[in-house]
Copies of this chain bind each other. A is one copy, B any other.
Amino acid sequence: MSFRRNRTLIKTIIDNGIKKVFSKVTIKGWVQTIHKNKQLFIKINDGSSLFDLQIVVDKEHEDKYSSIIDELTPYASIEVNGIIVKSESEEEIEIQLNRIKLLGKIDSTSKYIFSKKKNTLGYLRKVPHLRSKNKLMNILTSVRNKVTIATHNFFQDLDFKYINTPIIKSYNYEEDENKYLTCVSNLHLEDISHGVGDVYTISQIVGAESCMVESSIVFSTIDDVIDLAEDYLRSVIYNIISCCRDDLDFLEKNIEKNLLNKLLRTANQDIKKISYDEAINILISVKDQFTVNPKKGCDLNLEHENFLTKKFGTVIIYNYPKNIKSFYMKVNKDNKTVASMNLLVPNIGSIIQGSEREDNYEKLFNKIKESKLEEEKLSWYLDVRRYGTVPHGGFEMYFEKFIMFLTGVKI
């Protein structure tokens, strides 16, 4: 036997629209609203669609199933058999109920708030079973799903291989005295790519409940990393606009005005690129605007980044000072900056960080010494430079920050 659902997805019914009028269907899902006008209307959702499907119950069936209908509340699970009919507006469809079955009711002693208004994201975070039934959470799940798939498609089309990097790393250099930029699996990816070729991963950060998209590109320079990061961003945005249009419309109406325009602007335009020096000079020239003064040689904070994205839109800053970046980044000829890039998007700041990695054994060894890292624990990483080293780079993207940019939701 082959797997076949014993129900029709609401998504399928809505997508087919009036094409399937008069078909019999079985729908299973959770009640969203119940209201009575001339007739009784039940809205139902099964998670497959942003939109609820309306069930119309005529008087005869309302009487016949009165004992079930009396028990219905939002989020109760039901099975409905009925016929697809045109709604009064003639443009939409609804279901004329033939039979209804209550699968799971709501515990009447519930301690939870079922009002939609009171279910803030903060509250929902604590109540898993409510979270799964919340429309905004459902949209975030859909967008996350599509970003994951778009990420795989992007890299696979370019012949990158997906790698599972270990969750427990052999050495967490960030626990060291020196604080470095957050990054997760890239040391492992670098190692693997020296043999396997270009690779990527979507890694999960233990404890943080967050993900990183990471890549390692061999035989490449910082320019390749910048091009790849830009292509990636563009590709995923176009994908989300085409696959999640209804979700974006909902988010534009309820969460962020002009969301779609913002995304299109980022995807359609050539992204402006300025050096860290240019960026810091611009910021210093308007320094009174900030609560923290921008200073040459120091990292940019969110208010600085927001100023730059207000001015330029999505923007790439390159050549950061070496002392604020990770030990593995390649030092430029000026001996002051590293071949690095941050991609900043409006309101969120830096979501992608990339660099060319130091591919010279001696230089990396000295950098590790200088940085007071434990070189024995990084010997496997140094080995990559002793046995067939090649110029290479890569980027990391904060998955959740990207979702915030795509949806306007503050996660």
Contacts of A30 in B (CB 8 A): 194-195, 388
CB interface residues, A 119-170, toward B, < 8 Å: 127-134, 137-138, 141-142, 144-145, 148-149, 152, 156, 158-159, 161-164, 166-168
| Cβ contact within 8 Å between B47 and A197 | yes
Contacts of A5 in B (CB 8 A): 219-220, 224
Contacts of A388 in B (CB 8 A): 30-31, 75-77, 103-106, 133
Question: How many A residues are at the interface, by size bracket?
Answer: 35 or more
A335 lies within 8 A of chain B by Cβ: no
Contacts of A220 in B (CB 8 A): 5-6
Nearest Cβ on chain B to A63's Cβ, whole angstroms: 25
Contacts of A77 in B (CB 8 A): 194, 388-390
Nearest Cβ on chain B to A292's Cβ, whole angstroms: 33
Which of A82-90, A258-266, A377-385 has 4 or more CB atoms under 8 Å from chain B?
A377-385
A411 lies within 8 A of chain B by Cβ: no
Nearest Cβ on chain B to A6's Cβ, whole angstroms: 7
In the bound complex, how far is the Cα of B393 from the Cα of A6, in angstroms?
Answer: 14
Contacts of A130 in B (CB 8 A): 387
Which of A173-181, A202-210, A322-330, A368-376 has 4 or more CB atoms under 8 Å from chain B?
A202-210
Q: Binary interface profile of A, 262-305, with partner B (CB < 8 Å = 1, else 0)?
A: 00000000000000000000000000000000000000000000
Nearest Cβ on chain B to A21's Cβ, whole angstroms: 23
Q: Which of B46, B148, B227, B386 is A197 in contact with, Cβ under 8 Å?
A: B46
| Cβ contact within 8 Å between A128 and B207 | no
In the bound complex, how far is the Cα of B404 from the Cα of A268, in angstroms?
Answer: 45
Contacts of A197 in B (CB 8 A): 9, 46-48
Contacts of A152 in B (CB 8 A): 148-149, 152
Q: Binary interface profile of A, 211-239, with partner B (CB < 8 Å = 1, else 0)?
A: 10000001110011011101100000000
In the bound complex, how far is the Cα of B110 from the Cα of A131, in angstroms?
Answer: 56
Contacts of A194 in B (CB 8 A): 30, 77, 129, 132-133
- Across the interface, name the chain B residue whose C-beta is closest to A202: B164
Contacts of A76 in B (CB 8 A): 388
CB interface residues, A 23-41, toward B, < 8 Å: 28, 30-31
A113 lies within 8 A of chain B by Cβ: no
| Cβ contact within 8 Å between A2 and B231 | yes
| Cβ contact within 8 Å between A149 and B156 | yes
Nearest Cβ on chain B to A19's Cβ, whole angstroms: 19
In the bound complex, how far is the Cα of B277 from the Cα of A342, in angstroms?
Answer: 61
Nearest Cβ on chain B to A51's Cβ, whole angstroms: 14
Contacts of A132 in B (CB 8 A): 191-196
Could you show 28 A-B contacts with beta carbons less than 8 Å apart?
A3-B158, A6-B224, A7-B219, A47-B193, A75-B388, A76-B388, A77-B390, A79-B219, A103-B389, A103-B391, A104-B390, A106-B386, A110-B387, A112-B387, A127-B383, A128-B384, A129-B191, A129-B380, A130-B387, A132-B193, A132-B196, A138-B195, A141-B163, A144-B162, A148-B162, A149-B152, A164-B209, A168-B207
Besides A2-B231, A75-B387, A141-B163, 19 other CB < 8 A contacts? A1-B226, A3-B224, A5-B219, A30-B195, A30-B388, A31-B388, A46-B218, A47-B197, A48-B197, A103-B389, A105-B388, A128-B191, A128-B383, A132-B191, A148-B152, A149-B156, A167-B167, A167-B206, A204-B204
